[in-house]
């Protein structure tokens, strides 16, 4: 593999890792703060892409982007109020079964409203070109924009959690919910805000990835599996661990597929297992993840 191709694959891995980070933030916040295992989180990635596509096709990408975020946030608020509040104090098995059923419902609703035909969202024209990044390598401007948006979103979440009163209450609620409630904090409203924030970040990832993938029912489920691997590797509730694990998985997965695909079907099969071997290694060495909160 040439140096130019290696650099390109590294950039692809970093971009994929940053997208995975956006999806994983919501999972790690919801699990770390609420103790909730949400298997339906990938559905919010899917709904963000579908809402953005539907509005963007008629009124342009800017309104589509806003509609994707707002639509996913509204759905998340309704789901949290109607479903999730009944699962917070239940066992993790009940949470898995409940959110798995919710995921199936979301997939069927998408089929009813949008059909089974895969959709491909249009890329903004002003980001359709490429820019020089290394020697003769020109990299797609849209992929660089995805990386920049993911970095800014991650920085915003970090500042929110570590530098604001809301972030202080979120961290306190994760450590001792009963004490926070005794101090007069509306913990239900706080949990709703965390859930909606996680949903908006998942929808943001879906909106950004829409032009690069085919949008169809269940599109977020394979990424959700990788997001759960991020939580296991990075450590539940750790924002730093989420970032490090997302980038690590993104780069390892991309390089493995680029190098091992040359060996045919067997190589591609091995490449698909590399991430899970990495997860198993981390579990053997540090069972609670690389960064324990």
142 Cβ partners below 8 Å, 6+ apart?
123, 124, 127, 128, 211, 212
Q: pLDDT grade, residue 247 (50/70/90)?
A: very high
Structural domain 3-285, CATH architecture: Orthogonal Bundle (1.10)
pLDDT of 1 strictly over 60: no
Q: In the prediction, which pLDDT does 104 show?
A: 92
The pTM is what?
0.89
CA angle 282, 37, 208 (to 5 degrees): 80
pLDDT number for residue 106: 93
pLDDT in tens, 123-166: 878 878 888 877 777 888 888 888 898 889 888 888 888 888 88
Burial class of 262 by CB neighbour count within 10 A (0 to 12, 13 to 18, 19+):
exposed
Rounded to whole angstroms, how far apart are CA atoms 73 and 67? 10
Please identify which residue in the block is written with the tokens 């809301």: 166
């Amino acid at each position: 593999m040439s140096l130019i191709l290696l650099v390109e694959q590294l950039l692809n891995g970093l971009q994929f890792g940053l997208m995975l980070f956006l999806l994983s933030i919501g999972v790690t916040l919801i699990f770390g703060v609420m103790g909730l295992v949400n298997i339906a989180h990938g559905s919010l990635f899917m709904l963000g892409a579908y809402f953005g596509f539907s509005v963007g096709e008629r009124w342009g990408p800017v309104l589509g982007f806003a509609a994707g975020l707002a639509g996913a946030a509204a759905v998340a608020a309704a789901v949290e109020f109607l479903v999730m509040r009944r699962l917070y104090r239940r066992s993790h098995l009940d949470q898995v079964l409940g959110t798995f059923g919710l995921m199936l419902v979301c997939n069927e609703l998408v089929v009813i409203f949008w059909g089974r035909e895969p959709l491909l969202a249009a890329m903004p024209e002003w980001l359709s070109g490429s820019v020089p990044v290394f020697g003769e390598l020109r990299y797609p401007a849209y992929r660089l924009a995805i990386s920049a948006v993911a970095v800014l979103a991650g920085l915003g979440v970090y500042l929110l959690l570590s530098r604001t009163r809301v972030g202080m209450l979120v961290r306190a609620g994760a450590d001792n919910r009963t004490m926070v409630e005794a101090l007069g904090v509306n913990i239900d409203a706080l949990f709703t805000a965390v859930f909606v924030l996680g949903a908006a970040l998942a929808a943001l990832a879906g909106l950004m990835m829409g032009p690069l993938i085919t949008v169809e029912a269940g599109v977020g489920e394979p990424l959700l599996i990788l997001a759960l691997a991020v939580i296991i590797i990075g450590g539940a509730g750790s924002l730093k661990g989420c970032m490090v694990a997302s980038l690590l998985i993104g780069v390892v997965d991309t390089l493995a597929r680029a190098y091992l695909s040359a060996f045919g079907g067997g190589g591609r099969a091995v490449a698909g297992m590399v991430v899970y071997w990495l997860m198993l290694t981390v579990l053997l060495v540090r069972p609670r993840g690389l960064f324990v909160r």
